[in-house]
Chain A
Amino acid sequence: MFRWIVVRDLMLAWRRRADVLSTLFFFVIVASLFPLGIGPETQLLRSIAPGVVWVAALLASMLSLGRMFQGDEQDGTLEQMLLTPQPLYLVVLGKVLAQWLVSEVPLVLIAPLLGVQFGLGSDTLLILFVSLLIGSPILSLIGSIGAALTLGLRGGGVLIALLILPLYIPVLIFGAGAVDASINGVSSQANLYLLGAFLVVSLVFAPWATSAALRISLE
């Protein structure tokens, strides 16, 4: 059943490619505006790079969160998912996995390319990639709680941002911190380990909270 959810969401995303691409282009454009606006001061660009790329990734991932459950809620598929003979936890995990694959993985893959604009070295680009690889599933997991809570509300998009962005702060600090450490020639291990710990915690608790929020939204 888990497989069906993931396959279905990937198929739907493929048929609605424009939505996926718009998230990716948003990320690319936001991250590219900074080098253009600041000018070719390598030292300054290098020092702001971790924060800028990470913040752009946070904002881009906000864009796709609103769609996570909305379509399924409108056509009644979400009701059917609540009635499947499997725990809702697994349904949510499947949806989060699909959302991550569709909306976050492209950002993670293209981030090193954006890092080049900021004059980052190859070691740092690798750390940027790894930190996003660990951090981005956390964004999807925590984001799913906000998406479920704001389901069916008008103006839900802004509300999701207000609810979820504060929860993203630890991810931002340690994700950008890892890249920053690498730029300054310090080991990024501690930051990455902490990100990993966040990932495990959110993997356990976020789908559970999302399930509860979905049940309330569909009452």
Chain B
Amino acid sequence: MECLRGDRRLFRDVSFSVSPGTLLQVTGPNGCGKTSLLRIICGLTTPESGKIKWQGAEIRSLAEEYSRSIIYIGHRIAVKEELNSLENLRISGGLSGCEHSHDQARQALARVGLAGREYLPARFLSEGQRRRSALARLINCSAVLWILDEVMASLDHAAVSLVESLISEHLSAGGMAIVATHQELHISAGSFHRLELKPPVSGGNASLGSPS
């Protein structure tokens, strides 16, 4: 894959494959294109060149079938300030096609440490708690491929190890995860790969074809 933002080339010749039970950690300095890479994998952004294939077929042609197989938690965590954690979880579950019953949603929120705060509108939660409520989406979710962008930001130690154990469980069940983070991940199951993106050449003007 190759990715341009404006006339800046973020990366090129990036190529990898992820198989069941594998975690791919994407690292690299700020601004090297980690988020862009994850958005490309989701199908939100079109790469300048290159293809993303899911089980041998291009994701463009799979469209909704591919969307069913992935879950994406981005920088902007899609938690509505006006809604409480329970509503946020149940609605985002309903939108992504894996509906939670009331009890399932409560259990998921308890798992991420929000028991007793289910009915608090998200605007009264701290940043870390909001991120925890976004993580609750990963529980009971049928998606095979998890795409997580900096989910560890503003999380405490307990929450980071929760993320690690969620990922481990997912991998041992044959799932896949692509995680962009600077932190060390301690995963107890599955295999672990690391993709390091190089910083883009400063002032590099891709349209002039400068080397990266």
A residues contacting B by CB (< 8 A) are 1, 3-5, 7-8, 11-12, 15-16, 71, 74-77, 79-87, 218-219
B163 to chain A, nearest CB (A): 18
B57 to chain A, nearest CB (A): 16
B60-104 interface code vs A (CB 8 A; 1 in, 0 out) = 000011011010101111111111000100011011110000000
Residue B19 CB within 8 A of the other chain:
no
Closest 5 CB pairs of A and B: A76-B76, A4-B94, A85-B68, A76-B78, A15-B82
Residue ID in chain B nearest A74 by CB atoms? B76
Residue B158 CB within 8 A of the other chain:
no
Assembly CA distance A196 to B118 (angstroms): 45
Q: Is the Cβ of A87 less than 8 Å from the Cβ of B45?
A: no
Residue ID in chain B nearest A12 by CB atoms? B82
Do most interface residues of chain B lie in helix, strand or loop, or is the interface mixed?
loop
The count of chain B contact residues (Cβ–Cβ below 8 Å) is: 29
Q: Is the Cβ of B87 less than 8 Å from the Cβ of A1?
A: no
Q: Is the Cβ of B42 less than 8 Å from the Cβ of A83?
A: yes
CB<8 Å pairs between A and B, sample of 6: A76-B76, A79-B42, A79-B72, A84-B67, A85-B65, A85-B67
Given A79-B44, A79-B78, A83-B43, do A11 and B83 touch, yes or no (CB 8 Å)? yes
Residue ID in chain A nearest B5 by CB atoms? A219
Residue ID in chain B nearest A84 by CB atoms? B95
Give 18 A-B pairs besides A11-B87, A16-B82, A79-B44 with Cβ atoms closer than 8 angstroms: A4-B91, A4-B94, A4-B95, A8-B80, A11-B82, A71-B80, A75-B78, A75-B80, A76-B76, A77-B78, A79-B42, A80-B95, A81-B95, A83-B67, A84-B95, A85-B64, A85-B67, A85-B97
Across the interface, A218 reaches (CB within 8 A) one of B44, B82, B96, namely: B44
Q: Is the Cβ of A75 less than 8 Å from the Cβ of B94?
A: no
Residue ID in chain B nearest A85 by CB atoms? B68
- B81 proximity list for chain A (CB < 8 A): 75
Residue B46 CB within 8 A of the other chain:
yes
Residue ID in chain A nearest B71 by CB atoms? A83
- B92 proximity list for chain A (CB < 8 A): 77, 80
